[in-house]
A and B are shown apart, each in its own frame.
Chain A
Amino acid sequence: MTLSTRCLNCRKRFEVERNQEIAECPHCGSKWRISWVDADQPKVQGPA
């Protein structure tokens, strides 16, 4: 199952590894802190 969230900078979706806490958007290079709504749903919490 591919897990993804939306980048707040470029608004494109990008993939995130399960339980990953910091992620970089491959489209625009923005770095985000990631929180998990549940085991399958990541979201951007704020800038890293």
Chain B
Amino acid sequence: MVLKRKVAFVDLTKEKAVVEEIPVELRKMHLGGRGLNWYYLYNNIPPDADPLGEENILAVGSGLLSGFPALGAGRAQISAKSPITGGVGDSNMGGAFAPQLKYAGFDHIIVKGRAKRPVYILVKDGEIEIRGAEHLWGMDTHETQKAIREEIEDDRAESMVIGRAGENRVVFANVMNGIKNSGGRSGLGAVMGSKNLKAIAASGSIDVEVHDPENLLRYALEVDERARSTKWAKTLGRLGTPLLYDVSYTTGFIGTMNWQYNTPGEDGSPLEAENLEKFGVKMVACIGCSVHCRHRVKIREGKNAGLTTEGPEYAAAGAFGTGVGIYDWEFVIKGNAECNRWGVDIISMGTTVAWAFELFQRGYITEKDTFGLKLEWGNEEAVLELARMIVEREGIGNILAEGFRKAAEHFGEETLYYANQTKNHPNLLTDERGIPSFALGIATSTRGADHLRSRPGIDLFQLPEDVLESIYGHKIVSDFTAYETKGIMVWWHELLYNIVDSLGICKFQTVFNSANSPKFEDYIPLIKYATGIELTKQQLMEIGERNYTIERLFNVMNGFSRKDDYPPERYFREETKRGLPFMKGRKLDRERYERMLDEYYRQHGWDENGVPKEETLTRLGIERPRMNFPEIERAVDVRKR
């Protein structure tokens, strides 16, 4: 077995670390990345831990296959108790950090405590060093990465860093690598900021041993060719994720002016994906990926002339576009670039700003609150200035930086109705009212409202039911406006996306928006050839189920239950007003939603309150939390500077 990889437990308070080999048995239970992160966190974070306190633990994990030639397997998972939700905080980051972490000799870094001064952790060729970061504090995410490379005289080093938002503990601050790769969701940048941890930098040249290199390369090329030849991947490689905008604004499921509308209609045509191409320099990719879905763009004229950056993604077209009534790629590019430098989640920022604009429209917020800033739809200056105020915690920005629930204590509890969130986590600018499977997905996601935990994008295609049965192994209703069987569909995607995150593979290399993309059975040979671990499809699905149930248990231990598994109340009360004929006049049916939720719980083996049953835990081999963080007193000192 070639899996002799390491996990480092770092205590920033004591400035000590323990390094252990990850047992192969744990790999067979959880794989790596997201799965193994949550094994460690479930077993070590006390339920009453303050997300921004010393007791919270930050886990950084390289996917089991990260660093191997396998379907864009270059992804890292960053996890902790979320300061937004108080439950699972979890984010998946592309770029090039995860492979470097592996080449530095570590698959997982588990960080607890709080440093007395700003620091960064450097892992290099098996060594761990805690370095002072006072000189980096205040820098944006791009400056920080550059400064670290210069300081350690290593151009190959990759860092995951925080910017001003993380330093200021904005609850939706993110973690960044490169120009735009982000561990965006859950506020993990704020967790790093609370630990005085500016960055984790990795560099190394330690070989990653491969079980069967010849077959791994052969099979990786074969499955990559299959994934790359799908219509989805080809379109993604040309237009990037903005391609989704064309579908969502035409059909009518993109939140507009804070979900008062479900599409901007014709007004939104300037944001069609094809119109971004005039800013294009080229398409680029994360390490190990052949799709190249990321735009590198340059604004060539006008007030922002010279701005060169990467992105924007579909999410930004909502955040700095439809959500605030602006239909201009140049502005979206500008807003996207600013957020990436500040180190703040674009989705959460956009949804929070859009909420503030609607509260202004309705009189809950006035110019007195905003120091004269007019939060009026389409006001570009107000959008960017409010975003900056949030990052710097100035004025009303300081209130919004705390998230919806705390901000509503200031603006009035009734204002929460206008906040598009579940579990207090801001939603992507998608309007799920007309698509019950999407609505269930954002409601039950362990990290709160999100599109990347279970979204069955292929539901929209209304594929023949025999095709759906061959994919899902169950009878699935083809009509995407139906509720029946969608609980099973969401369950299946939860397991699949958990496996993908645990392997370090990109979501765009799995059944998300293409039925022809790889799925469970296609990953089995990759795992075998890379690591020597042989799994059946059933065993792989069971790992996904085990990992997902552990996340659910973590939330249950922190007070979550059925009451937290509902989409925004607005989706039940207000009908959609625009879009294609079948999408107009749609809202969620409460009774049918309840039955869909019941079906979803049954499929998971959870009780009617969403709590995993004892028999389910026994079947999956999940034990009570052990609280087994290694005895750090016995550890050797890390190198310090």
Which residues from chain A sit less than 8 Å from chain B, CB to CB? 6, 8-9, 11, 30, 35, 37-38, 41, 43-47
Which residue from A8, A38, A46 sits with its C-beta under 8 Å from B272? A46
* Given A9-B580, A9-B582, A45 and B246 contact (CB-CB distance below 8 Å): yes
**A45-B238 in contact given A8-B251, A9-B580 (Cβ < 8 Å):** no
Give me 6 other A-B pairs in contact (C-beta within 8 A), A8-B247, A8-B250, A38-B234 excluded: A8-B251, A9-B582, A11-B461, A35-B274, A38-B238, A46-B246
Closest to B231 in A: A41
Is the beta-carbon distance between A8 and B580 smaller than 8 angstroms?
yes
Provide 18 A-B residue pairs closer than 8 Å at the C-beta atoms, listed in order of the A residue.
Answer: A6-B461, A8-B247, A8-B580, A9-B581, A9-B582, A11-B462, A30-B580, A37-B231, A37-B239, A41-B231, A43-B235, A43-B243, A43-B246, A44-B246, A44-B247, A45-B273, A46-B246, A47-B266
With a CB–CB cut-off of 8 A, which chain B residues contact A43? 235, 243, 246
Q: A46 contacts which chain B residues (CB < 8 A)?
A: 246, 249-250, 269, 272
- B462 contacts A37, C-beta separation under 8 Å: no
Cβ-defined contact, B234 with A45, below 8 A: no
Complex alpha-carbon distance, A30 and B580, angstroms? 10
- Annotate B255-272 by CB proximity to A: 1 below 8 A, 0 otherwise: 000000000001001001
Secondary structure at chain B's binding surface: helix, strand, loop or mixed? helix
Asked whether B460 is an interface residue with its Cβ less than 8 Å from the other chain, the reply is: yes
Q: Which B residues form the contact surface with A (CB < 8 A)?
A: 231, 234-235, 238-239, 243, 246-247, 249-251, 266, 269, 272-274, 460-462, 580-582
Given B238, B250, B266, which contacts A44 in the complex, CB threshold below 8 Å? Answer: B250
Residues of B within 8 A of A41 (CB): 231, 234-235
Whether A11 and B234, one on each chain, are in contact in the complex, defined by CB atoms closer than 8 angstroms, is no
Of listed B249, B580, B582, residue having the most chain A CB within 10 A? B580
Residues from chain A with a CB closer than 8 A to the CB of B238 are 37-38
- A46 shortest CB reach to chain B, Å: 5
Nearest-neighbour CB distance to chain A for B188, whole angstroms, equals 35
Bound Cα distance A37, B273 (Å): 11
The 10 closest A-B pairs by CB, nearest first: A11-B462, A37-B235, A37-B238, A35-B274, A9-B580, A8-B250, A46-B250, A8-B251, A37-B234, A46-B272
* Assembled-state Cα–Cα distance A47/B580 (Å): 10
Q: Are B272 and A45 in contact (CB under 8 A)?
A: yes
Complex Cα distance, B250 from A20, in Å, reads 19
B250 touching A47, Cβ below 8 Å? yes
Cβ distance B45 to chain A, nearest Cβ, rounded Å: 44
Give the docked Cα–Cα distance between A41 and B249 (Å).
Answer: 21
* Set of chain A residues within 8 Å of B247, measured between Cβ atoms: 8, 44
Q: Which residue of A lies closest to B248 (CB)?
A: A8
CA distance A30 to B269 in the complex (A): 17
In the complex, what distance in Å separates the CA atom of A30 from the CA atom of B251?
A: 12
Most buried by B among A35, A38, A47: A35
Closest to B277 in A: A35
Complex Cα distance, B239 from A41, in Å, reads 13
Which of A9, A30, A45, A47 lies in contact with B274, CB distance below 8 A?
A45
A8 to B272, CA, bound (A): 15
Tell me the bound Cα distance from A35 to B272 in angstroms.
Answer: 11
Chain B nearest CB from A20 CB (Å) reads 15
The distance in angstroms between the C-alpha atoms of A8 and B250, with both chains bound, is: 8
Whole-angstrom distance between the alpha carbons of A47 and B238 in the complex? 21
Residues of B within 8 A of A37 (CB): 231, 234-235, 238-239
